[in-house]
Amino acid sequence: MVVTTRTRSPIRSNVGLKAVMAVTGILLVLFLIAHMLGNLKIFTGAVSFNHYAEWLREIGAPLLPSAGFLWLQRVGLLVAVLLHIWAATVLALRARAARPVRYAHRKKVQGSYAARTMRWGGVIILLFVIYHILDLTTGTLNPVGDPARPYANVVADFAPGRWYVTLFYTLAIVALGFHLRHGVFSALRSLGQQTPRGEQRARAVALVFAVALCVGYLVVPFAVLTRLVS
């Protein structure tokens, strides 16, 4: 039997995979911040919000065709999400394989609370994004569903009669908040001082960031639900 020893590329080492998670995570966070700020323009009225959505399609013109930037962003986000999930899965499988108690009966190892929340949180966010694209990008699941009138789409989406849509968005955004809190904390802990004080600071920054982002997203559906935006 011939035994070949394959050397693992640096990117597939644990440190490499964690770097992949961090870089893709940062890109996704930048998108989330920009998207949240854009959504808040709903408070400036229909004309301004629709104009903003139109402008999104014209970024980079005339160098890029209409919606060219949006397509670049879509491809970038998709690649980032796929790499983020791939790195997370490989790391999780390696951690499981390295666990000696795996074979013990009864006391099943569930993984840490944070790891489990990250896994399930990630799945909820993924399902939410698929629904969200069919809702507000393609308009397939939206009562108005007119890509040229995003303001009307958002107002129809979170109308009081459709409270269950707001509830679903709320659950997904809270899951996103937990995911971000742990992700940002892990990234800051890796980058910063690994002392109890440094860790405490990283925990606080991650919490403030996650709460701010959740609030920034949730004010939109709740403003429509309470008819502050109509």
Closest distance to ligand HEM from the beta carbon of 224 (Å)? 9
Task: Name the residue nearer to ligand HEM (CB basis): 127 or 191.
Answer: 127
Backbone angles phi, psi at 188, to 5 degrees: -65, -35
The answer to whether residue 178 forms part of the interface with ligand HEM (CB under 6 A) is no
The answer to whether residue 224 forms part of the interface with ligand HEM (CB under 6 A) is no
Closest distance to ligand HEM from the beta carbon of 93 (Å)? 25
The answer to whether residue 50 forms part of the interface with ligand HEM (CB under 6 A) is no
Q: Are 220 and 150 in contact (CB under 8 A)?
A: no
| Cα-based angle 209, 89, 99 (whole degrees, multiple of 5) | 105
Task: Name the residue nearer to ligand HEM (CB basis): 144 or 198.
Answer: 144
| Binding test (CB under 6 A) with ligand HEM, winner from 20, 83, 88, 173 | 173
The answer to whether residue 53 forms part of the interface with ligand HEM (CB under 6 A) is yes
| Binding test (CB under 6 A) with ligand HEM, winner from 217, 223, 225, 229 | 217
The answer to whether residue 122 forms part of the interface with ligand HEM (CB under 6 A) is no
**Part of the chain binding ligand HEM (CB under 6 A), chosen from 4-12, 100-108, 133-141, 188-196:** 133-141
| Binding test (CB under 6 A) with ligand HEM, winner from 80, 88, 118, 136 | 136
CA distance to 53, 57, 59, 223, per residue, from 72 (Å): 16, 11, 11, 31
| Binding test (CB under 6 A) with ligand HEM, winner from 129, 134, 205, 207 | 129
Angstrom distance (rounded) from CA 181 to CA 81: 18
Q: Which residues bind ligand HEM (CB under 6 A)?
A: 35, 39, 53, 56, 70, 73-74, 77, 125, 129, 132-133, 136-137, 150, 154, 169, 173, 176, 217, 220-221
